[in-house]
Amino acid sequence: MALLRSAQNILSPVLAPAGYVYSSVMACRAKLYNKDSLVRFKPACPCISVGNIGSGGSGKTPVSGWLLAWAERQGMHSVLLSRGYGANPSKLPYLVTAESPVEESGDEPLMLATENPYARVVVDPVRKRSGKWATDQFKPDLMVLDDGFQHMAVQRDLDFVLMTPDDFTDGWNKVIPRGTWREGKNGLKRADVFFVKSPVDDFNSMKDLIKDRLGKYKKPVFQFNLKAEGLKFLNGGETLQFGNEKYMLVSGIGKPEQFSRDCMNFMGQKPCEHMIFKDHHPYSSQDVSSIREKSEKVGAAKIICTPKDAVKLRRLGCDDFYTIDLCVEFKESIFFDGTEPCNFERWWSCDRLELAYKSRNKNSKL
Domain ranges of the chain: 30-219+335-365, 229-327
Q: What pLDDT score was predicted for residue 235? A: 85
Q: Length of the chain, please?
A: 366
Domains 30-219+335-365 and 229-327 are alike in CATH topology: yes
Residue pLDDT tens, the chain, 366 long = 556 566 656 666 667 777 667 678 777 777 777 777 778 899 999 999 999 998 777 899 999 999 999 999 999 999 999 998 888 999 999 999 999 999 999 999 999 999 999 999 999 999 999 999 999 999 999 999 999 998 889 999 999 999 999 999 999 999 998 888 999 999 999 999 999 999 999 999 999 999 999 999 999 999 999 999 999 999 888 899 998 899 999 999 888 888 898 899 888 899 999 999 998 899 999 999 999 999 999 999 999 999 999 999 999 999 999 999 999 999 999 999 989 999 999 999 999 999 999 987 776 654
Domain 30-219+335-365: give its CATH architecture.
3-Layer(aba) Sandwich (3.40)
Q: What pLDDT score was predicted for residue 207? A: 97
Alpha helix segments (H runs only) across 206-284: 207-214, 256-267
E strand intervals along the chain: 47-52, 78-82, 94-96, 120-123, 142-146, 158-163, 193-197, 221-233, 236-240, 247-251, 273-276, 302-305, 322-334
Q: What pLDDT score was predicted for residue 39? A: 80
CA 289-295-297 angle, 5° bins: 105
DSSP state of 339: P
In angstroms, rounded to a whole number, what is the distance separating the alpha carbons of residues 283 and 230? 24
In angstroms, rounded to a whole number, what is the distance separating the alpha carbons of residues 239 and 237? 7
In the chain the first and final C-alpha atoms are separated, in Å, by: 47
Does the domain spanning 229-327 belong to CATH 3.40.50? yes
Q: Is 92 exposed, middle or buried (0-12, 13-18, 19+ CB in 10 A)?
A: middle
> What global pTM score does this model have?
0.90
Nearest of 51, 27, 45 to residue 148 by alpha carbon: 51
